[in-house]
Amino acid sequence: MRREILLPLHPGLLIDTFDKGFSMGLMDYYTLADVRRFVKKCHDRKLEAWLASSIGLEELPGLWTAGVDVICVRGVACNKGKGPGRFGEIDTALVRELVATIPCSK
């Protein structure tokens, strides 16, 4: 018997950058006010607001407060001494720090 796990789909809209080679991240292009407007427009349309693009640990609390639903990270979770940037080795201690920024919903 074949069994499948079906996860609910949550439609959303992602803002990301195409070329990571410029050493610029999301917050070099947008302000928190811009992000709040993006989140509101998404939520008004029953979409989740997703963000990516070289987001740093220090930027996460403000983005969560702005109401973002999903923040995609890679480079900030990598050990800087274990490979180039986002292609480095994922560091569990860094991941714990990232997870700790996620507000608990009650």
For residue 54, tell me if it sits in a domain: yes
What is the domain count for the chain? 1
For residue 61, tell me if it sits in a domain: yes
Does residue 8 sit in helix, strand or coil? coil
For residue 73, tell me if it sits in a domain: yes
- pLDDT, residue 75, reads 86
For residue 7, tell me if it sits in a domain: no
- pLDDT, residue 89, reads 86
For residue 3, tell me if it sits in a domain: no
DSSP 87: G
- pLDDT, residue 80, reads 75
Residue 56 backbone dihedrals phi, psi, to 5 degrees: -90, 160
Q: What is the pLDDT of residues 9-46, one digit of tens each?
A: 789 999 998 776 667 889 999 999 999 999 999 999 99
- pLDDT, residue 19, reads 73
Tokens of 72: 């995609």
Q: Which domain holds residue 83?
A: 12-17+25-100
Task: Pick the more confident residue, 84 or 77.
Answer: 77
CATH number, domain of 30, equals 3.20.20
For residue 4, tell me if it sits in a domain: no
Does residue 27 sit in helix, strand or coil? helix
Whether pLDDT at 105 is above 50: yes
Angle formed at CA 11 by CA 7 and CA 15, multiple of 5 degrees? 125
For residue 64, tell me if it sits in a domain: yes
> Where does 2-105 show beta strands of DSSP type E?
12-15, 48-51, 70-71
**Mean pLDDT over residues 67-85, rounded?**
82
For residue 81, tell me if it sits in a domain: yes
